[in-house]
Amino acid sequence: MADVVINGLIEGGKATGGPPFGPALGPLGVNVSGIIAEINAKTKAFEGMKIAVKVTVNPSTKAFTVDVGSPSTSALILKELGIPKGAKNKEEVVGNITIEQVKNVAKAKDAQLYGNTMADKVKQVLGTCKSMNITCEGVGAMEMIAKINSGEIKV
């Protein structure tokens, strides 16, 4: 029998036996509470953020694997700043992030970001900051990218 794959979006560390996983796992005859416990253990670091989770179950052996995705870059930026959401309009600046916080986000998203160097990855995170109207070290994101490109700021 082929493996059954169940995808869901849950808040980090708060999976329950209810939807999306409980009703899908129950008919497979697996230990639902064991799978939920593993999901919660793997997503605990992402509390307060929505995380994509994929559970693969082999119905004949009852073996399962839990794969946890990575939160979006914008969600990680919001968590770093402790704010609920980005700007509503182009004039509103909702926060100011430090270059160290940008590096933390880039490290967390390392596998999903393009580029060979940390500077390339930091510039991608700064691009997201621009779209959210978040400044970096008191200047606009594009200005910070220009400073990184010129060598004025080392990453």
Please tell me whether residues 9 and 78 are part of one structural domain.
no
Please tell me whether residues 78 and 30 are part of one structural domain.
no
Task: Find residue 6's DSSP bridge partners.
Answer: 55
Q: In the prediction, which pLDDT does 1 show? A: 66
**CA pair distance 85, 62, nearest whole angstrom:** 41
**CA pair distance 126, 11, nearest whole angstrom:** 25
**CA pair distance 37, 123, nearest whole angstrom:** 37
Q: In the prediction, which pLDDT does 155 show? A: 87
**CA pair distance 25, 6, nearest whole angstrom:** 8
Decide: 97 and 81 in contact? Cβ < 8 Å.
Answer: yes
Flag whether 155 is in a domain.
no
Among 68, 93, 116, give the residue marking a domain's end. Answer: 68
Q: Domain of 146?
A: 73-150
Q: List pLDDT tens digits, range 46-87.
A: 888 888 999 999 989 999 999 998 888 998 999 899 998 888
Flag whether 43 is in a domain.
yes
- What CATH number did the domain enclosing 100 receive? 1.10.10.250
3-class DSSP state of 50: strand
Tally of CA atoms within 13 A in the half-sphere of 48 that contains its CB: 10
> Which residues of the chain fall short of a pLDDT of 50?
none
Please tell me whether residues 78 and 93 are part of one structural domain.
yes
Task: Find residue 101's DSSP bridge partners.
Answer: none
- What CATH number did the domain enclosing 8 receive? 3.30.1550.10
